[in-house]
A and B are shown apart, each in its own frame.
Chain A
């Protein structure tokens, strides 16, 4: 931690701590039936918060899949709106994707990766210096879109960062049955890109690797593949039962390498914060997580008419007719 500014490391800690608490609240909301399902971020806070914190939300753009809550939080996304996705109030959430510069949740996990390339190419065509960052997992790295995207980005030298959170479990399939060759970062070489393998539970290392990749993209030197090696300590989703497919001793070992605890220890060791400061951060994180929880639990359901509102920019007569029919049936 010594080599990073104290205020940065404190901010990383606050975001990671808030994400951890919000994750716990979200699991509770699922148990209470508020969320139909939830995908935990626990154990991946450093990979997400430290990478997102290396971006500039005023000019960059993030393309997530569906397990990027901690990244959204660190990037400054309005979290009640974001978490509305997990309550299934709207597919992409109720926050403004374009104003936040943080794409909508996407369950087709390779799907958003070429969007990042397109966005990045567009940025270069205009002569601006924004960078696109695509989050995806080890499972997504098996999908064709990810390979096509790396190849496109290499050919176009697009300012994009491919950020793979390798949490070692793609649904119920372990890394050695998911990633041939064992490493996503190693694939970068085949596309002519630098590939970086980083300890995904080390916030400082993740931040540095991402900041370097972002700087490289921003100065026109093209894309980078970062593989952050981490671990999904919780089930794939609240509907999953990992006791059927993995050794809990392994999970327990990774729980010991908790990224929040690691950062806490490092901050104290580096003298970036005292116990009292961190206790204050912890209290603020709990409050913030509770505020978001209450907000998303209380958020109103969308009006039925919104079924029809956003299908097209220029709606069709047929859709208007169907809307009228729907309205008549609702009013019966």
Chain B
């Protein structure tokens, strides 16, 4: 509520607070629940416990168990319930606890959530935001770390957002929930506890825009989620050798900011896309194709991909070798510069 009051005071700059990503999402949910009484938060453990990552901490206490409630443990029914609630005028924000458990709900997400507006010719919009703790990097057990972005981005009717830091998490969630289209909002688990400044203001960039996190001249690193942070580290290290890298945070994987990608890569003439998901048919292929289609004449080298391997997310001790390492990204940068 504080944010809302402060937002109304035009003479005051929006306050900037230091928050972890998990706290930023919590803040955004509080704003959303306060501003629209039709918004509902539900899923496994989201109530009294406040979510397995404490993202929904305190929400049930503040908004009551009619607005924030626990469900039985059944992912397909959670998403199916969201469809029925949306058809009854609510704005559901379901949580599936871990990405691997989205698979049991894929039928509802793909066959129902994504298509209901189309099927009913716009009569039954699905203003659903699926919050999905996503990706690897926390050495979790099997099914607790996956990269499903290509599956959802490939599905017509869904939009896909991936925040990379606390500030982005705050504004992207406000946009996702306020949108009348279904959004899969993929929260990078590895970044939940990283803190950063969050301006408690209204998002200004439209849905589907990327952002340049670091400006550079020699190549563009394209990433989303936790890989943005990794690419920033790569850029810092490369800078020590005089290589000036641009880092582009894609943040919307559907719709993809083709123009933003083209603008950056046309300038730097080189692109390296970095993601956690397996290589084959991953979203990196889509990004590479877009860059090639739009910047072919400007490119000085083929687009490089640094990704997870075509293996299941491995067990904890091997996960650091699966995820794109700083060295693998640096090698790719070297390959593109030496092409």
Contacts and interface: CB of A to CB of B under 8 A. Distances in A.
Contacts of B62: none
Contact of A96 (B80, B111, B123): B123
A118 B80 contact: yes
Contacts of B118: 91, 310-311
B330 interface: no
B242 interface: no
A149 B107 contact: no
Contacts of A117: 77, 80-81, 84
- The secondary structure that dominates the A interface is helix
Interface in A118-137: 118-123, 125-126, 132
Interface in B71-108: 71-72, 74, 76-77, 79-90, 92, 104, 107-108
B157 A312 contact: yes
B32 to A, nearest CB: 17
B207 A155 contact: no
Q: Which of B90, B120, B180 has the largest count of A CB atoms less than 10 A from its CB?
A: B120
B47 to A, nearest CB: 13
Contacts of B85: 118-119, 121-122
Interface in B256-279: 256, 258-259
Interface residues of B, number: 49
A99 B123 CA distance: 8
Contact of A115 (B83, B107, B123): B83
B298 to A, nearest CB: 20
Contacts of A312: 117, 157, 159, 181
A108 interface: yes
Interface string B119-130: 111111100000
Q: What size tier do the contact residues of chain A reach? A: 35 or more
B302 interface: no
A306 B92 CA distance: 27
B292 interface: no
B124 A310 contact: no
B255 A118 contact: no
A145 interface: yes
A114 interface: yes
B139 interface: no
Given A92-B119, A108-B111, A317-B208, A118 B83 contact: yes
Given A121-B81, A122-B84, A145-B80, 11 more contacts: A111-B108, A111-B112, A118-B82, A122-B87, A122-B89, A125-B66, A144-B76, A148-B80, A155-B71, A311-B118, A316-B254
16 contacts: A91-B119, A97-B120, A97-B123, A104-B124, A111-B111, A115-B80, A115-B84, A118-B88, A119-B88, A122-B87, A122-B90, A148-B76, A151-B72, A309-B122, A311-B118, A311-B157
Interface of B: 40, 66, 71-72, 74, 76-77, 79-90, 92, 104, 107-108, 111-112, 115-125, 156-157, 159, 179-181, 207-208, 254-256, 258-259
